[in-house]
Amino acid sequence: MSPHAEAYVRVLESLAADRLDTLDAVTTRDVRFVDPFNDVTGRDAYKAVLRHMYQSVADIHFVLGGVCEAERRMMMQWRFEGRVKMLGRWSFDGMSDILFAEDGRVRSHVDYWDAGRQFHERLPLAGPFTRLLRRRIGQRPD
């Protein structure tokens, strides 16, 4: 991994609610962060999303998997683990597409994960409807 990719991964691995300012050194001021629930621009907005996550989910742990890097782009596989009041223990797998600015700081971080199957289907009220919808839309064996 390149030094700037390693620095960002180290920050992500050690991230905690009281350590969000460690993002300042590895992200641009206008960094864009996208996931299934958020699309924000700016370091403060990115940190606000993470702050909300730490307030809403307990025992957060990220397990970083494979990394593929080319020029100023890094694709990173990960597993998110935590505990949510309505769901209990919760974990899911995802990928991040990370773009680096010329100075090596992150300018875009886009997370891809299946919010329908890995979140909505587990909700007490929305879950049954979401599962039914997936079964109706999905391919059925002949």
pTM (predicted TM-score): 0.80
Per-residue pLDDT of the chain (142 residues), as tens digits, is: 899 999 999 999 899 999 999 999 999 999 999 998 899 999 999 999 999 999 988 998 888 888 999 989 999 999 888 987 766 787 888 999 999 999 999 999 999 976 556 655 555 665 555 556 656 666 666 5
Domains of the chain are 3-113 (3.10.450.50)
The reported pLDDT for the residue numbered 140 is 63
* DSSP states along the chain: --HHHHHHHHHHHT--GGGGGGGGGTEEEEEEEEETTEEEESHHHHHHHHHHHHHH-EEEEEEEEEEEEETTEEEEEEEEEEEETTTEEEEEEEEEEEEE-TTSSEEEEEEE--HHHHTGGGSTTHHHHHHHHHHHHS----
